[in-house]
Amino acid sequence: MTMTEILILFLALMGPTKALLVYAGLTEKMDAAQRVSIAFRAVIVASIVNFLFLWAGGAIIQAIHVQIPAIKISGGIILLIFALGLVLDWGAHDDHQEEGDIAIFPLAMPLLASPQGIVILITFAAAARKSGLSTQPLYLALAITMGVNLVALLFGAKLLKYVPPSALKVVLKISGILLCAMAVQLMLWGFSDLGLVPAKVE
C-alpha cells in the first residue's frame, strides 16, 4: 500500500470522526480548560497504546507463533465486521457513561485506539518486517493520524457548529463502504500468501 492509502486507512480506523461525536456530547457542559485537558490526555493515551502495538507487532506475532497470512485473514474479518457496523448502524445507539475518566474510556480506548486499528497495526508491522520493508511510513501515518485527532478534538465543538452530526454520520457510512473493500482485499492478500488465489487479479 502507498503512504496515502495507509494514512486513509488509519484515519478511518483510528481517526476522529466517531470520537468527535462522543467527545462533543460528554464535554458539552465542561469549561474550556477541562475540554482541552481531556483532548490531550485522550490522544496521548491512544498514541502510547497504538505506537506500542506498532513497535511490538512483529515480536507479538513471533511469540504466539502465528503466520502472517493468518493475521491478514483474521484482521480482514475483524475489519469487515467493523465496516459493516458503520454501514448498517450496528451499535449506533450505544450509551457511553460519563463515569470515571472519559479521556481513557471511551475516547482513548476503544475509539482512538480501536481494536480493529490495533489488529491492522500488528498486521502491517509484522508484514513489513517479514518482507524486509521499512516501517517508517507506518509510524509517520500513525503520527499524522494522532495529530489530526488532537486538532479535531480541540476544535471539535467549533467544528460541529458548522458540520451537523448527520453529515458526520454520512461520512462514517461512506468510510464503512470503503473499509469493506479494504477488508476483503486484506483477506485476499492472506489467501494469496497461502497460494489459494492469484497474487493479482486483473
- Per-residue pLDDT tens digits for 91-149: 554 555 545 789 998 899 988 998 888 888 988 888 888 788 889 999 999 999 999 99
User: Which among 116, 89, 135 has a CA at the least distance from the CA of 183?
Assistant: 116
**97 Cβ contact partners less than 8 Å away, ≥ 6 residues apart:** none
The Cα-based distances of 141 to 15, 131, 199 in angstroms read: 11, 19, 26
Three-state SS for 163? coil
Q: How far is it, in rounded angstroms, from Cα 58 to Cα 124?
A: 9
Peptide bond into 115 cis (omega under 30): no
- pLDDT level of residue 1 (50, 70, 90 thresholds): confident
Query: What is the CATH topology of the domain spanning 3-193?
Result: Growth Hormone; Chain: A; (1.20.1250)
Residue 200 has what pLDDT? 64
Q: What is the mean pLDDT of residues 154-160?
A: 78
Which of the two residues, 166 and 128, has the higher pLDDT score?
A: 128
Nearest to 91 by CA among 22, 24, 161: 22
DSSP summary character for residue 113? S
Q: Under a CB-based contact definition with an 8 Å cutoff, are residues 146 and 48 in contact? A: no
At 10-52, the pLDDT tens digits run 998 899 988 887 888 788 888 999 999 999 999 999 999 999 9
Per-residue model confidence (pLDDT) at position 71: 81
pLDDT of residue 99: 57
Q: How far apart are CA 21 and CA 156, in angstroms?
A: 8
The pLDDT of residue 92 is 52
Looking at residue 201, what is its pLDDT? 53
Across 138-164, average pLDDT: 88
- pLDDT the model gives residue 195: 87
Give me the mean pLDDT over the 164-178 stretch.
78
Residue whose C-alpha cell reads 473499509 in the numeric block: 179
Is residue 182 scored above 60 in pLDDT?
Answer: yes
Q: Please report which confidence band the pLDDT of residue 53 belongs to, taking 50, 70 and 90 as the band edges.
A: very high
What 8-state DSSP symbol labels residue 100? Answer: S
Residue 157 pLDDT grade (very low, low, confident, very high; cuts 50, 70, 90): low
| The residue type at 12 | A
- Candidates 129, 133, 124; CA nearest to 13 is 124
